[in-house]
Chain A
Amino acid sequence: MMSVRRIILVGAVALTLALLAGGYVLAERHVAKWTAMSGQPINCIACHLRPQQSPSMHEAGYKTPVCLAVSADGRRLLATARDAHALVVVDLGSRTAAAAAPVGTELDGGVAWAARQGLQEVPVGEEPEGLALSPDGKTIYVANRWEDTVSIIDAATLKETDRLPVGDDPCGLCTDASGRALYVANCSSNDISIINLDRKTEIKRLAAGRQPYAMELGPDGETIWVTNRITDRIPQRTPPVTELTLIDTRSQTVRERRKLVNAHLVEGLAFAPEGDLALVTLVRPKNLLPATQVDHGWMITSGLGVVETRPGGRVLQVLLDDVGQYYPDPYGVVITPDGRYAFVSAAGADVVHVVDVQRLRGLLAHASDEELATLGNDLSLSEQYVVKRLPTRPNPKGLAVSPDGRYVFVAERLADSIAVIDTESLEIVEHIDLGGPPKETILRRGERIFNSGAQTLYGQHSCRSCHCDGHMDALTYDFEPDGLAREIVDNRTLRGIAGTAPVKWTGGNISTMKQCGPRFARWLTRLESFHFYDLIALTAFMDSQQLPPNRYRGKDGLTEAQLHGKQLFARSRDKEGRPIPLRNRCIGCHGGPLATDNRLADIGSGAATDAGRVFDTPSIKDVYDTAPYLHDGRAQTLEEIWTRSNPMDTHGVTNDMSKQDLNDLIEYLKTL
């Protein structure tokens, strides 16, 4: 009996060991398949449990300050906190008193601690970002991006008094000089809402460029300047052209549409006190060049637009980058009241540039027309006007200057703090902690990696430089491995990417981990690839990117046109009654909850410069927000997909459709 038992025991141990060994080999293969990396730790929990269990930023208690403003009396600092869904109010006056008191008492956490720090949180809508004060300083306006509303807050009581609906994805906002009309930039619907504040109703919408973002009342007191983030609709493979929209507040009409050529992601805006100049932050992409190298600013350069405010004024683009060291993702800009310095945050480099405004003025004044076109490529020019670069905590974003010009505040977005810069010593004198959690969750780590240029050669760009807000930049790119000027690809949004693999237009990568791992390092960042656990965090963050709420799905169900479009989407016979094969019906590939079948398809869109004929079927959820379309961005509008790029009915049977049918189909597609 003993021997049998022993045999069983030995057998069981041997079997377990064999299973473990076999399992290890299988696990190694599994990791190699999904990440294209070998020799990595086999840690099931790190990939399959931890990211999924990581709480959302809001649940984890992060604050994520983005935009800042200082009250007219200089006593209050206001910050929109994206993940706290709140307006954070820092009482600068009481902080001064607290700072004078002896320090060393232990933190008792929570409210008491916040009070001692002079902090107060005013709940607003989801994802607050834009922030403005009324001219009399009595009202605070906050744009709630994912709620499509503006919160109106009484500055005296710090209570939200009203929440008004506006357009899609409101970002920047400001009032006219009288304070009676509020202008709101709707980043997704590409227009500007004008709200009559007496009646608290939207009275007008003006067309902007694409993704209108920041907004300020100009120095003349009657023009509102609006920056737009991405390029106008341009012919395929031509330089990006981004609009500065100028609105006349008297007539409430667009006065001028000034164009910035070869620039985009214009997010910050400030005026010199003299009134002659506006400074805007901008990015100069090199998307038309083959991405064969990073050196010499070959991929992306970042800088400022120096804009004459007079009608039809000239625009000078200059870089804030330097040779061999780049400062990606410029975001905010403020100018001190004396007009001496501009402070510009470089969110991807964790730096605030101090810029001599007078030098910029001189450059613009003396630049010939030829120089206006070429100075924007000079990487050594910044030494002429960048006085100092101040290192900050991760991801410096919005800036505000105190009314007396003594301090500049910088929202350190991914550190949950606000840096205070002394404008005399040009040093950071304090970091105001907004009370975020001390522990870094996986998603937060991923977000920090996503927004940092540290993993690119010379720090030239971050993931965010092309995927602003996890979205896309409406540009097409020419990556190296396929040969020059071949296999042009449209930049795709990362919103809602989870579950839509394969990724990449050719479907070459079965997961985001494979996409962002070695391949990304080899062809894009040109440094060593992400550390394995950093890659897990980064892809977990990407997969957590949600689609914003769909604005075309009405509360009362589909409209008549949308219903008709839905029938066309699912139809199995054309107008002649001929059957349509399943794979050539809209619903055949773009059906299902993610609006993709996760397969490759030949829709006849392969160009002579493409190596293959089949492309990944993209998810078409929120498709209204992702122009241009098709793998190489050749279709500027949804309609062009069928009217120009589907002559043989290879991308669904659409040539029998009338203009009205196509309109209805598009109306339905927008609801997906």
Chain B
Amino acid sequence: MSTRRKALLAAAALLAIVLPVAFWLRGGPPAGSLVFVQVPAGAHSAEAKQPGSWPWLLPSDSRLVLLTPDAGKAHIKVLTKGFHAACDPSLSPDGSRLVFAGQRREGDEWQVWEMRAGGGRARRVLAFAGDCAGPIYVPENGDPSSPCYMPDQRVLFAGQARRGSAEPGAGHWQLFSCRRDGSDLTQLTYGMSPTYDPVMLPDGRVVFATWHWQHTSAVQSPVSALWHMQQDGTGADSLCPGPEGYLKRSPVAAQGRLFFVASDQANGAGSRLASIALNRPFTTYEVVSRDLEGEFQSAYPLGDGRLVVSDRPPQPGASFGLYEFDCAQGVLGRVIYDDPRFDEVDPAVVERRKPPHGHVTVIMPEATTGELYCLNVYESELTQVRALAPDGIQAVRVYEAAASRQGGKLLGEAPVEADGSFYLEVPANRPLQWELLDRNGEAAARSPVGVWVRPFEHRGCVGCHAPWQHAPNNFIPQAITRKPSAVGVKKKVEIVGFREKIMPMIEARCATAACHGPGGMGKPKFGAEPAQAPDGTTVNQAYANLVYTTDPVTGWPRWVYPGSARTSPLLMVMTKHARTDRVELGEEERQTLMKWIDGGAHWQLEGAQTPPAGRKPAGAYGGGG
């Protein structure tokens, strides 16, 4: 081979290496570019969304586009050619890559995809058995024994696992995370309601939106609240509950505040832009869009006190467009982009940001339990609990929360010490609820939503609904000097079947000819004739009347909330609202009745581990989609 030929070959080889690399490095779009979603106009309007048709966050025929600065309308670039639909773009901290939820073909499941910020081939991050939405980058903190912080090597997303999974909350939207290569898929949230719209705070927390029942509201439907937790699902807690802004979603953090879209309607109609200060979450709710009419869909911080917002002006027929928004003045600035044929939503700015902090997990995945301790239950904002101090609370009762508002499986009971402390070992990854019991065994307070403990998490609380700004006192709580009370971990709670124990009692005491028996005046009727349960099994009339009768106004059970004796109207009627003709139940009978309800109000012991059908009250949210 001649020298010249060798040189030519070498040059060609060099070019073959350099050119692709240079092409690859040419890479990202200029800083300040904007990635957003375009949906055919009208698809995103509130009228198109029905409360039950969750999730409406995955719009069909949507596409991701890139707008480079000053490029004008004509120069937007569609990033997701070849996708039937794509939404929820989120950029890595260095601004080089983005993840999004996409649907390759119509009817496919929505999956998490990744591509370079400037466009290119999309790579599916993982094969998730169900729909995915709202992916974001989170730090990889490595194996717990050898953590290595990499700010963008994990992806956290909302996923709706197909029904049939054994995990609690399967069928609901839950948050998951996995490595960028799709390995190490972990479920993070275990609530009993849909959870979505995750976002990272600079301090490493994850904020997300979730539905839960509004405890105090007169509105008999769930509200969407904002919660926060660590990256591994520990320390989950409410960040911004109601009542202001019935629905809250699409949070973003900027300058110590959290901005989000809030609406008084479940379908998001009339949504405004609201915000809270992250260090005063419960007292600083503020509608930053003030009197601006129109509808907001999402926002993204520009870093200088302004936001990019997706807003639809109030004019009829207007579509969502992207606008600058001045938070201090509460006014819309210039139009960034608006194509009347499309709704422009979910903007994200291509820029290099300071990566959020990491969080070395304390979870040990092989553990099956976690621990939960409370320093002083009387340190509470609930007046009924404070009123019972200094030693009015005797015990704490733990339930595994059920999908419905009432009920749930009773896991066990643990003592509350004289100083107000308790210490529990509870099953991990289960939505739990608590009830504080007074000296009479009556519930003084019950936690409205299910909170989970992750495997080996040791979670401490200052009090029960303690004021959010209270640091704990420096003392040794009595409860932690003993072993934790294992609830729902080792021994099973005694379950009473209706057929075996309750029906004989009713026949002897209640179903008399004068009262609830045939021909009696009392209601409900406690007949022994067979009746059909909603799931098709055969029960008797007394059971059906007690368990399946619902209140025509609220849609809730009329007499019995399975799993919660102390809040069931039946017990209240029998023990509190005394009537002259009331039959006095003995203490033993009363306890049996309470055990039956607390244990799940089962028809019979046989097969009692499965909850009776029909316990879910009519009119509950259509969670699960």
Contacts and interface: CB of A to CB of B under 8 A. Distances in A.
Interface stretch (B139-147, B314-322, B613-621): B139-147
B23 interface: no
Given A39-B146, A528-B360, A480 B458 contact: yes
Contacts of A485: 476, 480-481
Interface string A316-336: 000101111100000000000
A37 interface: yes
B471 A301 contact: yes
7 contacts: A37-B148, A39-B142, A239-B474, A378-B469, A518-B146, A526-B359, A528-B360
Interface of A: 32, 36-40, 237, 239-240, 262, 284-290, 292-293, 295-298, 301, 319, 321-325, 377-381, 457-458, 480-481, 484-485, 518, 521-523, 526-529, 531
B486 to A, nearest CB: 13
Contacts of A297: 471-472
Interface in B465-508: 468-477, 480-481, 484
Nearest to B481: A485
A328 to B, nearest CB: 14
Contacts of A325: 279
Contacts of A298: 460, 471-472
Interface-centre pick from B148, B359, B474 (highest chain A CB count, 10 A) = B474
Nearest to B143: A38
Contacts of B475: 239, 288-289
A32 B146 contact: yes
Given A297-B472, A377-B471, 5 more contacts: A237-B476, A295-B235, A485-B481, A522-B147, A527-B360
B362 A480 contact: yes
B501 to A, nearest CB: 39
Contact of A527 (B145, B357, B470): B357
B350 interface: no
Contacts of B476: 237, 288-289, 485
A36 B146 contact: yes
Contacts of B143: 38
B480 A484 contact: yes
B371 interface: yes
A528 B423 contact: no
A484 B373 contact: yes
Contact of A290 (B280, B361, B458): B458
A286 B474 contact: yes
Interface string B204-224: 100000000000000000000
B49 interface: no
A480 B361 CA distance: 13
Nearest to A40: B148
B459 interface: yes
Nearest to B234: A293
B531 interface: no
- B interface secondary structure, majority: loop
B94 interface: no
B358 A527 contact: yes
A286 B480 contact: no
Interface in B434-467: 458-460, 462
A513 B362 CA distance: 20
Contact of B474 (A262, A296, A380, A381): A262
B375 interface: yes
Interface string B579-591: 0000000000000
Interface of B: 139, 141-149, 203-204, 235, 278-280, 357-362, 371, 373, 375, 423, 458-460, 462, 468-477, 480-481, 484
Nearest to A455: B357
B278 A377 contact: no
B423 A484 contact: yes
Contact of B279 (A285, A301, A323): A323
A522 B470 contact: no
A194 to B, nearest CB: 35
- 6 smallest CB-CB distances across A and B, nearest first, come from A297-B471, A528-B358, A528-B149, A380-B469, A484-B480, A292-B458
Given A239-B475, A262-B474, A323-B279, A290 B480 contact: yes
A528 B458 contact: no
Contacts of A296: 462, 470-472
A323 B468 contact: yes
A101 B206 CA distance: 54
Given A237-B476, A239-B475, A325-B279, A521 B360 contact: yes
Given A521-B147, A527-B360, A458 B375 contact: no
Nearest to A261: B474
A457 B474 CA distance: 20
A292 B147 contact: no
A298 B458 CA distance: 13
Contacts of B359: 457, 526-528
Contacts of B373: 290, 484
A531 B475 CA distance: 34
A462 to B, nearest CB: 16
Contacts of B147: 37, 518, 521-522, 528-529
A179 to B, nearest CB: 42
B146 A38 contact: yes
B373 to A, nearest CB: 7
Contacts of A240: 474
B148 to A, nearest CB: 5
B96 to A, nearest CB: 20
Nearest to A289: B472
A503 B110 CA distance: 51
A528 B139 contact: yes
Given A484-B423, A484-B480, A522-B362, A380 B458 contact: no
Contacts of B358: 527-528
Contact of B460 (A292, A322, A457): A292
Contact of A36 (B145, B357, B375, B423): B145
Contacts of A381: 469
Nearest to B475: A288
A378 B458 CA distance: 23
Given A292-B458, A296-B462, A324-B203, A378 B470 contact: yes
Contacts of B477: 289
Contacts of B423: 484
Contacts of B375: 289
A323 B278 CA distance: 8
A657 to B, nearest CB: 34
Contacts of A321: 471
A295 B235 CA distance: 9
A528 B146 contact: no
A288 B474 contact: yes
A284 B474 contact: yes
Contacts of B474: 239-240, 262, 284-289
Contacts of A377: 470-473
Interface-centre pick from A237, A379, A381, A528 (highest chain B CB count, 10 A) = A528
A297 B480 CA distance: 19
A292 B459 CA distance: 7
A480 B480 CA distance: 12
B365 to A, nearest CB: 14
B235 A38 contact: no
A238 to B, nearest CB: 9
B357 A528 contact: yes
A292 B460 CA distance: 7
A531 B147 CA distance: 10
A513 to B, nearest CB: 13
Contacts of A289: 375, 460, 472, 474-477
